Structures are given as structure tokens and as C-alpha cells.
Amino acid sequence: MKTLRGLSFTLLSARHNKAQFDCGVPCLNHYLAEYAGQDIRERFTQCYAAADNDNNVLGFYTLSSYAVNINALTASASQKLPRYPTVPTALLGRLAVDLRYQGKGLGGSLIVDAIYNTQRSAIGVWAINARVKNASAKSFYIKYGFYSFEKNQQSLYLPLHSDITRNISFLNLL
């Protein structure tokens, strides 16, 4: 049985072994193998990897800047925000876990790492935004405190001032 002990969470680099990674979703496997490094070099995204002691990638996620139309938020979410047309967010664009590690908590650990890295960002970010492709992915994110947008149920957000994110910052978990 694979455990989460001994994993490191770092920016993806040339030292990481991506060849054995298989999350069961061909387009995510292909992205990691072929495009993640290029996107990092071009500064389109940052790709973070969870790796074992041999630098084998066991999971990854991407973060990039994004803006959400304030009208897409629920009234209760937007009532305390400035009346700007958009709200700055970090887009959690891709998140994938190797099949051998699925169901063992690594996906949640990747979300915690994404929250931590977003909070440490030097730019202003109100929330983390994620797009989901199916009901299973949506329930996964909701389990970690994400909310659905009012007008687009396939996009979710997690305000960085929520209890979940405050606790992560307070505990300095990573």
C-alpha cells in the first residue's frame, strides 16, 4: 500500500520524473509530459508537483492568475467586495493524482498546497477558482470548502478569507 510519507511538494522542474505518471485521464498525462514545462518557462502557469524520494511525480496542479466577473458570484459572496467589475483569483487549472495514489488523500494535500502557495503570493488574490468537468470532480472540490458560482455550476471558488484557508495559514502546514 502506498502512503503519503516522504513526499515533497515543489515547483515542477527538470529533476522530476514524469514518465511513469498516469492519472487515468490522457489529456492530463499528456499535459504533464509535454506542456507543463513550456507553460512554466513562458510564465503562463506555475506547476507544482508532489513527488516521492526518487522525484517521481505522484500528483500535480497548476496555478495561474485569473479574474472572475463579480456578477458571477452569489449576492452574499459579493456584498462585502469592492464594486470592481472583476475579482482577482488564482486559477487552479489542472489537478491530477497518479492512479496508484488516488483515494489516499493526495488530492486534498495538493489543494492544501495550492491554498498555501496562493496565500504566499506577492499579488492580490481574493479566491482560488477551479473549473470542473463532472459531478465527481465537483463533489471533490466542495468537500474542501469550494462554492459554486451562481451562474456557472461548473466553476467553483474558495475565498482566501474562509475558515479553511485561515486555518491553513495559521497552522503553516506546509
**The dihedral sign for the CA sequence 40, 122, 149, 104:** positive
Between CA 173 and CA 89 the distance in angstroms is 22
Catalytic, 141? Answer: yes
Sheet containing 8-11: which strands, arranged edge to edge?
Answer: 8-11, 46-51, 57-69, 86-97, 127-131, 155-159, 147-148
DSSP three-state, residue 67: strand
Distance from CA of residue 30 to its chain's centroid? 18
Cα-flanking dihedrals φ and ψ of residue 165, to 5°?
A: -70, -35
Angle among Cα 162, 166, 167 to the nearest 5 degrees reads 120
Which entry of 48, 61, 116, 141 is annotated as an active-site residue?
A: 141
**The dihedral sign for the CA sequence 131, 136, 138, 141:** negative
Catalytic positions are: 141
